[in-house]
Structure 1
Amino acid sequence: MTGSAPAPTPARESSTPVAAPTPTGAAGPGRRDWWRLVNQVVAVVFVVALAVGLVLFVRGQDWTPVRDLTTRLDPLHVAVVLVGALLINAAGLLLGVVSWYALFADLGAPVGRWTAARLFFVGFLAKFVPGRFVALPVLLRMGREIEVGPVRLAGVFLLSWAVVALTGMTVALAAGPALLGGATGWLLLAVVPLVVLFTRPDLLNRTLAGLARLLRRPPPSVAASRVGVRRAITTQSLSWVISGHHLWLLAVTAGAPPVRSYLVCVAGFAAATVAGLLVVVAPDGLGVREAVLLVGLATVLPASVATPVVLASRLVCALSEVLVGAGGLAVAQYLHRRRSGPRAPAPTT
């Protein structure tokens, strides 16, 4: 229109890009690259330490009794039994993963199953690392990626450890009559904490809140559900029962009576493993677990035969744990990255 003011024209953008102001405390590209390099170095150190730990474990054992026993048996039969024992124990370990995830889903973070599994397998493999401290920075970094702080992460692992110990001791009671005769009534006291936790999971939340008040910390922002706690207890109990069958298979192959050795092996394996867990100074219960297993197997096998069976059980457990742990970590890492996808770049304005 004649005499009207012209429409405002947009200001021409400068040909020289202007850097957006960096928020206070934000990490610049150089700092991000530095932390990425540090994380990669820590991951490499963890893998190297794991390899060193496995080599030390294999070299630190005297496998002569196992070789002597296998030479007296059919090699093909021994190979089939060892593979079967390995698969049985691996199945039990996978149920342990399900138990841990049931607790993590309650107390950890709303993340995918494989994303959470990465944390489990790193912590699981840490038992083979000399000193175990090398895995701590890796776990903290992985927890920070999914917004799980160190306190909550430690709480999940401690609660999982408690469930593992309580269910293991409860399953171990079945070996009591075979090892201690009829005077086993007092052992039922070990079942009380597990029964209370199973029937009243809400007591766990009250306990955590009470500890927070005692330590003058804010109350927990998350709470364990009844379904999650009960699922964790049930699957971990099944894990013990299934894993113990690998020892029974080895013992029967070595000449143990199948019926009389059943509870000694299945329940005795849980007792021996929990004893090794409680003695924290022994790496992965080395020596402690073998001593408890020998006491039980001595009731159904000669000592000269029970010793190689115990050593073969240790070998089967180590191989299955490494295969499940390393394989599970590789699969979980791949699926985590595939489902996460590339992250969108942060806005610059």
Structure 2
Amino acid sequence: MISKAVAMRILRVLLVVLALAFCAYSLVDQWDATVRAFEQMSVPTLLGSFAAGLAGLVGWMLSWRVFLAGLGSPLPLKAMYRINSISQLGKYVPGKVWALVTQMELAKEYDVPRPRSFGSTLLAMAASQGTGLAVAAVTLPLTSETARQRYWWLFLLAPLMLACLHPKVVTWAVNLLLKLARRDPLERPVRLGEMLLGSFLAVVGWAFFGVHLWLLCAAVGGDGPGLIFLATGAYALAFVAGFLVFIAPGGIGARETAMVLVLTPVLPAGAPIVVALASRVLLTIADLANAGLAVLIGGRPPKPDSGERSAEAPAEGNEPEPGTLVTGTQLSETKE
């Protein structure tokens, strides 16, 4: 019979393989349109946008690491990178739970209790979505009339989402969800310093994603001093809109629709869909590159060497017999 540990390992592998299959399908399905979109942009633009997207993902990883450490499980950078990069492929599987499940299972290898991993992921999601709405609410009303008219209700949610990031509110909400999932509550409440630092790193991530989209917009004819603010707000709004569509893997469709709507008034005809498609493909490649690099650099927990024996605790059955001289020790001098 397969042990529980082996079964969970098989489950982790299947989840990653399934995520890779959906990820590959999303790229192949739009291959011709992607090639046409990339032909309109220079290699330096694409590389710069790709690098900015990677930086945004790393900012969010660090935000999650802050929350996990605050709940009692600090992780080394390599371990954090491996767990988060691989688990993020789960967002390409329909439904929002697979990235969370994969992250919990990978974190278990580092002795992170599942309730703690679950809670830190919820905190990171709350910080990213709450600050994302705030970023959109600050930038878009000043730069996009279309966004104000179509997504005004999301802007109203921004103050509410930010208020919900208060440590007492967040601790209560996470414990409630853990109770519904029949898990133990958090061992310690969320502290203000952790929420501030985690939310700040989430905002840093949004800033890099804004640069990512701004470079693409500039490459297809967008200009003006307010373009970078519009691009940052457009990406934040589009990502949150895609996140709210539960069944769409990675927010596919909903994210592009919101992005095109916001960018249409400021870009040449046909350019917004090119930007949206290029952004999707570049960030998908960034997720794949992160996962691939995480596998290459390792970061797995150290495994004990079965060939080594501890001097303090010799293995059972290998203890010296009473009165037997143990080799390799120094004899004490005898008195004459």
State the TM-score, normalizing by the size of structure 1.
Answer: 0.75
CA distance in 1, matches of 2:172, 2:142: 36
- Which position in structure 1 is the counterpart of 2:48? 84
Contact 1:252 1:258 (8 Å CA) reproduced:
no
Kindly state the Cα deviation for residue 265 of structure 1 after the two structures are TM-superposed.
Answer: 1.2
Percentage of identical aligned residues: 24
Structure 1 residues 258 and 323: alpha-carbon distance in aligned structure 2, compared to 1, 3 A threshold: farther
CA distance in 2, matches of 1:140, 1:206: 21
CA distance in 2, matches of 1:49, 1:218: 30
Structure 1 residues 154 and 266: alpha-carbon distance in aligned structure 2, compared to 1, 3 A threshold: same
CA distance in 2, matches of 1:58, 1:216: 38
Provide the secondary structure at the position in 2 that maps to 1:336. Answer: coil
Structure 1 residues 211 and 337: alpha-carbon distance in aligned structure 2, compared to 1, 3 A threshold: closer
Kindly state the Cα deviation for residue 101 of structure 1 after the two structures are TM-superposed.
Answer: 0.4
- Which position in structure 2 is the counterpart of 1:122? 86
CA RMSD of aligned residues (A): 3.5
1:164 aligns with 2:128: yes
CA distance in 1, matches of 2:179, 2:295: 37
Contact 2:243 2:251 (8 Å CA) reproduced:
yes
- Which position in structure 2 is the counterpart of 1:318? 284
CA distance in 1, matches of 2:181, 2:248: 30
Counterpart of 1:221 in structure 2: which amino acid?
E
Kindly state the Cα deviation for residue 247 of structure 1 after the two structures are TM-superposed.
Answer: 1.2
1:45 aligns with 2:14: yes
Contact 1:241 1:267 (8 Å CA) reproduced:
no
Question: Number of residue pairs matched?
Answer: 309
* Structure 2 stretches lacking a partner, 5+ long: 318-336
Structure 1 residues 330 and 132: alpha-carbon distance in aligned structure 2, compared to 1, 3 A threshold: farther
Kindly state the Cα deviation for residue 140 of structure 1 after the two structures are TM-superposed.
Answer: 4.6
CA distance in 1, matches of 2:101, 2:91: 15
CA distance in 1, matches of 2:75, 2:187: 16
Q: Kindly report which structure 2 residues correspond to 1:1-349, keeping only aligned pairs within 5 A, or say none.
A: 34-35=3-4, 37-61=6-30, 63-64=32-33, 66-68=34-36, 71=39, 73=40, 78-129=42-93, 138-173=102-137, 174-180=139-145, 189-196=156-163, 200-208=166-174, 220-331=186-297, 334-337=298-301, 342=305
- Which position in structure 2 is the counterpart of 1:12? none
Counterpart of 2:130 in structure 1: which amino acid?
L
* Structure 1 stretches lacking a partner, 5+ long: 1-30
State the structure with more CA Rg. Answer: 1
CA distance in 2, matches of 1:152, 1:330: 27
Structure 1 residues 312 and 37: alpha-carbon distance in aligned structure 2, compared to 1, 3 A threshold: same
Structure 1 residues 270 and 133: alpha-carbon distance in aligned structure 2, compared to 1, 3 A threshold: closer
Counterpart of 1:59 in structure 2: which amino acid?
V
Contact 1:277 1:285 (8 Å CA) reproduced:
yes
Which stretch shifts more, 276-285 or 185-194?
185-194
Contact 1:248 1:261 (8 Å CA) reproduced:
yes
Counterpart of 1:298 in structure 2: which amino acid?
T
Kindly state the Cα deviation for residue 49 of structure 1 after the two structures are TM-superposed.
Answer: 1.9
Structure 1 residues 172 and 70: alpha-carbon distance in aligned structure 2, compared to 1, 3 A threshold: same
Kindly state the Cα deviation for residue 322 of structure 1 after the two structures are TM-superposed.
Answer: 1.6
